[in-house]
Structure 1
């Protein structure tokens, strides 16, 4: 048996919020590339590459937010949630190539600084803070995990534009053109850090590792608290996409339990594990104390 918890009340609003943030970000990414060339600012160009990655992430989040409503098929019995990993991999490749491009361009500019249009940078920074800030406010009203994660990502963009704004103001009063390539290197380093961080998480999901914030020992400890459960074995815990978590588990129970009592026990365990660990797909197999299980030596 499997237990599913659905929260359809907010799915439509979640999709609309992410859609709005996507179009805001995509529009501004195009503006940024034009602005980076116009102002001769490598910092703005590097942030444009960062925002291009954000646009892809938002587009994928929007697409998969809608796709997640689609029912599983015979081919994809767990549904389509893991398809989001494909978006993460594409996004990572684009950001990786873009970051190396920025680094290659920035090093010669540090050795031989070129003047950028500081005033133009300042106005683009103000626009960046407004557009990304609007996206953050839109997403923070949402309730889904998807929205919260994207909201934090957009907030990082606001902070990045704040750094560009400060640098552009400084460059208007002091002749320090080297600030622009230094800032672009910092942005590129930040992008690379996130690429490797997200890449490591994607590999963990592909290899069916346990969710980062959930310990299988903690799950076992909660289940064994039920008086009807004598022991637990053959536990398998993994995540489909970093958010939708799956658990299978064998429980040894007393043979005196009635069918009604076992059904109530399963329901109670599922509700507890969902509330405490956000485990959404739970399969429990009950065995009596005297029953031999070939998986008795499993995890």
Structure 2
């Protein structure tokens, strides 16, 4: 089997310093909100604290995943830990949805039995949380655009920032209008939003982990372009997958019209690599050359 690495793509270097700072910042916010929620009796403040605690866990997972991803490959781990960050994104997304479901049940129960709440504490602590989460969001904004793991951590912080704003508004309504049921409604709304955000990220990371063909790649178009080359009879038995967000792999069998030599195959392989990279962003290509071999010529073959 012939293998050729098409292009030396540069990996975006991500720093863990901002992530580490955000971890300690959120630990402080969580501790303050737990105490404040218990003292004030606010479920929305406690739910925000729980969400913040999930942020701490997700940020810790993201931090170590980021560190692991930078480790070099070895004989026992030929891909290194390049999937670590995708795993972290999946875990973070799943945790968002679990927390959301817990919050919904708590909100429904509290809505049936509204309780008086110390709104002053809610207002003060939600304002502190807004400042802390806002700073964390700014720190991770740049890295979130280029990395799924960082984006999962960033989304946790964005949703928590929005939740804190909602809790602040609720605190003001309770303080000046004594609308204590607002606390439960806000908790319910926060939870629904968590489910929406978490599901999207869960789906994307799941597709990468399960070796789905990337949504942006049309396999039939690949076949059409490669089969149009002069000496190619057919490309078949195709697999396309993402190792992570930076590496997209293709492996396939390629049947030739004649019994070509190795140097000719090398030239055709290089041409195919250019086609796949320029049209589909595929940067790792492995092709098995064939001539007159009696095997299945289907585009997709179940191994």
TM-score, scaled to structure 1: 0.79
Residue deviations 1:88-119 (CA, integer Å, cap 9, x gap): 56546655554444333322321221122222
1:32–1:48 Cα contact (<8 Å) kept: yes
Larger mean Cα displacement after TM superposition, 226-235 or 74-83 = 226-235
Determine whether 1:52 maps to 2:53. yes
Seen in structure 2, the aligned counterparts of structure 1 residues 74 and 138 have a Cα distance that, compared at 3 Å, is same
Determine whether 1:249 maps to 2:252. yes
2:147–2:245 Cα contact (<8 Å) kept: no
Q: Which residue of 2 aligns with 1:183?
A: 186
Seen in structure 2, the aligned counterparts of structure 1 residues 216 and 106 have a Cα distance that, compared at 3 Å, is same
Seen in structure 2, the aligned counterparts of structure 1 residues 123 and 268 have a Cα distance that, compared at 3 Å, is farther
Query: 1:139, CA displacement in angstroms?
Result: 1.5
Query: 1:229, CA displacement in angstroms?
Result: 5.3
Secondary structure of residue in 2 paired with 1:247: strand
Aligned residues: 295
Between the aligned partners of 2:225 and 2:27, the Cα distance in structure 1 is: 45
The CA RMSD measured in Å over matched residues stands at 3.4
Secondary structure of residue in 2 paired with 1:34: helix
Larger mean Cα displacement after TM superposition, 134-143 or 83-92 = 83-92
Query: 1:179, CA displacement in angstroms?
Result: 0.4
Q: Which residue of 2 aligns with 1:42?
A: 43
Query: 1:213, CA displacement in angstroms?
Result: 4.3
Seen in structure 2, the aligned counterparts of structure 1 residues 30 and 295 have a Cα distance that, compared at 3 Å, is farther
Between the aligned partners of 2:272 and 2:141, the Cα distance in structure 1 is: 32
Match of 2:213 among 210, 214, 217: 210
Between the aligned partners of 1:25 and 1:5, the Cα distance in structure 2 is: 38
Q: Which residue of 1 aligns with 2:66?
A: 65
Seen in structure 2, the aligned counterparts of structure 1 residues 291 and 51 have a Cα distance that, compared at 3 Å, is farther
Paired residues for 1:104-119 under 5 Å: 104-119=105-120
Seen in structure 2, the aligned counterparts of structure 1 residues 113 and 219 have a Cα distance that, compared at 3 Å, is farther
Between the aligned partners of 1:271 and 1:169, the Cα distance in structure 2 is: 60
